[in-house]
Amino acid sequence: MSALPLLDPELASPTRVDRATSQRLACAIGAEDRGCYRNALRALPRLVDATYVEGVVVIDNGLKFDHAWLHSAAGVVDPTPAYAAMPEQACTYFPGPRWTLGDVHALFSPEQDDIDTPLLQPDISDSPHRQAWITATLAAFRHVSALHLQQTGRPAIPAEHHASMLDALIGSYWADRVREGHGSHGQPTTAALQC
């Protein structure tokens, strides 16, 4: 079986992260590790012209996590403490769907005391947001495969597994997300952010 070009290894450049703003916002909102979706949503009103982003982050060791952050003119702003405290160029971010503050306000009534996260939900499976998530996830898999290829000389995803990988991304992923409580909420191991 020949390799599918969508999953051929492709190394992406590390992402520019505004660490100072990330750390300032993390402290200001009392951000918690393992709470990236809530952290980003709580920080959104504090950063003019930012958008809330759900996507995938890959740590330089090849670990891949579903994640949420903000994007502004300065680049990525990540108010989750474990990521805000990471050294420069330790992560590569693959943005999926984005929401403005107005979009977020339109999704929730003022009476709600909690927000169901992530915002990308399985019941909107044919939406442009879902397509953005698939694009981000495919790019992250290609990046992880390229990292693995650099380190071992072998791609992380053998060609014979490409079709099943695509099927999992497009189909069964949604069932797993619902069953497991909406994705991977793992966090990198790093020094704690000092506020």
Where is pLDDT greater, at 15 or 186? 15
Q: What is the pLDDT of residue 156?
A: 63
Please report the pLDDT score of residue 174 as a whole number.
41
- The structural domains of the chain, with segments of one domain joined by +, span 10-179
Residue 173 is predicted with a pLDDT of 45
Whether residue 118 is preceded by a cis peptide bond, meaning omega within 30 degrees of 0, is: yes
User: Residue 98 pairs with which residues in a beta bridge?
Assistant: 53
Tell me: the pLDDT tens digits for 164-178? Answer: 555 555 454 444 443
What does the alpha-carbon distance between residue 191 and residue 188 come to, in Å, rounded to a whole number? 10
Return mean pLDDT, the chain.
Answer: 77
Q: What is the DSSP letter of 99?
A: E
117-174 confidence digits (pLDDT tens): 777 765 555 677 888 888 898 888 888 888 888 888 876 655 555 555 555 554 544 4
Percentage of the chain with pLDDT > 90? 32
